[in-house]
Structure 1
Amino acid sequence: MSRAVKRAFKYRFYPTAEQAAELARTFGCVRLVYNMALAARTEAWTLRQERVNYNATSTMLTGWKKTDELAFLNDVSSVPLQQTLRHLQVAFTNFFAKRARYPTFKSKKKSRRSAEYTTSGFRYRDGRLTLAKMTAPLDIVWSRPLPRGATPSTVTVSQDSAGRWFVSLLCDDVIEQTPATGQVGVDAGLDSLLTLSTGEKITNPRHERRDRAALAKAQRNLAKKETGSANRAKARLKVARVHARITDRRRDHLHKLTTRLVRENQTIVIEDLTVRNMVKNHSLARAISDAAWRQFRTLLEYKADWHGRDVVVVDRWFPSSKVCSACGALAQRMPLNVRSWTCPCGMSHDRDVNAARNILAEGLSVIACGGGVRPQRVDARTGRSSVKQETQRVTAGIPRL
């Protein structure tokens, strides 16, 4: 079996001086149009209780181009400017649907520098990509081929804080769905990045810690430079390059890890971790951020969807570490410094392996019984879905040690 999906292929490229200048102007115009449209929509709602949609902002853009102050908007391609208005419309749609916060203005220093081109804004022929307002194709490093016969439907050009240029091509791709019979529970941690129900522990690479000395040195040099000077800009670039190296290694490791789990297992059970709340613990915030549990889950979920796998998310309040995976008894206390323990039934447990096995059992009960039922326990649980359990009902029906 196979499945057709939309897939983005990202490559690095090296623009000429003219292309870099053109893209820099485009990024600035995209940011300006987005901010002006956001201000217009906000003012219309605040003063007149009037909702402004994409069509209205597109009409505004036409008027802005005719003014002397904003005539420079005609110097760049109109496609990225229209696309940024569409992005603003999506942002407002998500806000009104209560899926996101109110849109904020783009910052020249902090916001992502990018521009999106649709099919009318670029030409792709024989592996050569040429953007609107440019005469020469981009010098792209084709680190991997595009799908056979694929033609990009959208091209996004971006520049990161380290000064590197990237182009992302959105294409139709076919994912071959190979059968798999494995089932695995995954317990996320810090000593071991992941512990599987099979007993395997995946070492935490601690990418940020490996480069912490280099990062600290670069940041000290940056702090000594005068604000606004050329030397400060160079020092800032060195800090950004260290961060980019850390991010690239972390992403590469997570991609390889999630791909392996998806290829080997049909059912993958994970915990619903609230990373946003967990990083409020200032003693562990740095290590938790470096582990990137949220990114791991995101990669795992979309790859599982591509390959037809099942990802089950167990409720965050499920006491996976305190429950004996052999008899189902619940320990009253389990401090974080306790890494192994012995149940009165005589079974000795590694804390993380035991948690992974309990997570797998809970996830399988969700699939078989609708959640909340584990046959090895003495009493049935609440009968609710494990994804929606309430805090006070988590341990209902479980015998205590």
Structure 2
Amino acid sequence: MLKAFKYRLYPTEEQATLLNKHIGSCRFVYNLALETKQTAYAGFKTNLTCFDLVKQLPELKKECVWLKEVNSQSLQQAINNLDTAFTKFFKGQADFPNFKKRTARQSFQIPQNVRVEDCKLIIPKFKKGIEVKLHRLLKGTIRQATISKSPTGKYFVSILCETGETNKSKPEIKEKSTVGVDLGIKSFLVASNGETFSNPKYLRTAMSRLKFVQRRYSKHKGKKTKHRLAILHEKVANQRKDFLHKASTKLIRENQSIAIEDLNISGMVKNHSLAQSISDAGLGMFVTMLEYKAEWYGVNILRIGRFDPSSKTCSICGVVNKDLTLQDREWTCANGHTLDRDVNAAENIKTFALRDKV
């Protein structure tokens, strides 16, 4: 089983400068490889492979001497990442690769020769080691590492390890041990067993402060104000991630099978009235957490189609209310059953998911 362990790095000033050079150089090589690949195809209908682009690196280093300061394997990995991006695009799993910006996520990968000794991360070009805060035990054999820099200037390393563990076998799907989960905005999560997680709305809570700092940044554009803005956004992101981890772990530990709806998050975000609330809730991140934790702990994840009328169907008698709108939080079916919209949806999600399973 592969698991990633993320730790905070505390580089010296000299090490931080070299880390920044790695980040910038890998971004430069990625963008140059993308431009070269596009130009070759547009001008000569030639499809340059990953190996063709990697072979050009030695000549590129002669022209851009500063690239020699950077770990060559990290530069090659940047080209491999571009090749993976194109593969996903042609399979219909992602959009066409874009050029990386300096303002986007800053990171680079080390595909091998990664060690952790005496609370120091040892990688190529950093023989003395970078101080790392090992707040939890690193388990397994190290495969690779990714070093990233946050907008607030903090450095982190994510170490991918082969733990030697096997995924737990999943139990038989039964109605009693299955819970239906309805995800939303007003209530973040409503389960068919009556459990509810209210939506903390961290971004909305911090919005007044964010707007104040944003106005100062737009007027003065100072580094201190920009840094304060980044700190506020980082706090909101950390709060959201902490909440999602706790909610997903609780669901996984207490249930053997979890039924969820196949939500079209990218499509939902296009609704300008709900985009901010949907992004603040972190629904996509929550589903991702459920999926990988389910693999770790042997829990079944059941899905229903995004067009199944889970909200509009009465969970008691099956009558469909085609006139139901988003504003209707409670409704009464044609047979007189009064229903809470979210609880009713959660029960229907469970029923629909078990239709062909039990």
SS for the counterpart of 1:13 is strand
Contact 1:271 1:314 in 2 (8 A): yes
Listed as ranges, the gaps of 5+ residues in structure 2 are none
Contact 1:175 1:307 in 2 (8 A): no
- Residues 136-145 or 165-174, more deviating: 136-145
- For 1:77-226, list aligned pairs within 5 A: 77-108=71-102, 110-120=103-113, 122-147=114-139, 150-173=140-163, 174=165, 177=168, 182-226=177-221
What is residue 326 of structure 1 aligned with on the other side?
A: 316
What is residue 49 of structure 1 aligned with on the other side?
A: 45
For 1:327 and 1:245, the matched residues in 2 are separated by 46
Q: 1:191 to 1:47 in 2, by over 3 A?
A: same
For 1:273 and 1:205, the matched residues in 2 are separated by 20
- For 1:26-65, list aligned pairs within 5 A: 26-65=22-61
Following TM superposition, by how much is the alpha carbon of 1:332 offset from its aligned partner in structure 2, in angstroms? Answer: 3.4
Contact 1:38 1:88 in 2 (8 A): yes
The structure 2 residue matched to 1:305, chosen from 295, 312, 318, is 295
Output the amino acid matched with 2:243.
H
What is residue 348 of structure 1 aligned with on the other side?
A: 338
Following TM superposition, by how much is the alpha carbon of 1:21 offset from its aligned partner in structure 2, in angstroms? Answer: 0.5
If the length of structure 1 is used for normalisation, what is the TM-score? 0.84
Output the amino acid matched with 1:18.
E
Aligned CA RMSD, in angstroms, stands at: 1.8
1:36-63 C-alpha deviation (Å, 9 max, x unpaired): 1111111111111111111111110011
Q: 1:101 to 1:332 in 2, by over 3 A?
A: closer
1:313-342 C-alpha deviation (Å, 9 max, x unpaired): 211111112211111112232222322233
Contact 1:301 1:311 in 2 (8 A): yes
SS for the counterpart of 2:285 is helix
Q: Does 1:358 find its partner at 2:354?
A: no
Q: Which has the larger radius of gyration?
A: 1
SS for the counterpart of 1:152 is strand
If the length of structure 2 is used for normalisation, what is the TM-score? 0.93
For 2:177 and 2:239, the matched residues in 1 are separated by 28
1:263-298 C-alpha deviation (Å, 9 max, x unpaired): 221211111222222223322221111111111111
The structure 1 residue matched to 2:271, chosen from 259, 273, 281, is 281
Following TM superposition, by how much is the alpha carbon of 1:221 offset from its aligned partner in structure 2, in angstroms? Answer: 1.0
For 1:96 and 1:193, the matched residues in 2 are separated by 35
Following TM superposition, by how much is the alpha carbon of 1:262 offset from its aligned partner in structure 2, in angstroms? Answer: 1.4
For 1:119 and 1:99, the matched residues in 2 are separated by 27
SS for the counterpart of 1:330 is coil
SS for the counterpart of 1:138 is strand
For 1:250 and 1:20, the matched residues in 2 are separated by 28
Output the amino acid matched with 1:92.
F
1:208-256 C-alpha deviation (Å, 9 max, x unpaired): 1121122111101101115xxxxx2221111111111111111111111
Following TM superposition, by how much is the alpha carbon of 1:126 offset from its aligned partner in structure 2, in angstroms? Answer: 4.7
For 2:45 and 2:167, the matched residues in 1 are separated by 50
Following TM superposition, by how much is the alpha carbon of 1:175 offset from its aligned partner in structure 2, in angstroms? Answer: 6.0
1:71-127 C-alpha deviation (Å, 9 max, x unpaired): 11111211211111111111121122222222111112x22211111223x333354
Q: 1:221 to 1:52 in 2, by over 3 A?
A: same
Contact 2:119 2:134 in 1 (8 A): no
Following TM superposition, by how much is the alpha carbon of 1:343 offset from its aligned partner in structure 2, in angstroms? Answer: 3.2
SS for the counterpart of 2:188 is strand
For 2:181 and 2:115, the matched residues in 1 are separated by 45
Contact 1:262 1:307 in 2 (8 A): yes
The structure 2 residue matched to 1:290, chosen from 254, 259, 280, is 280
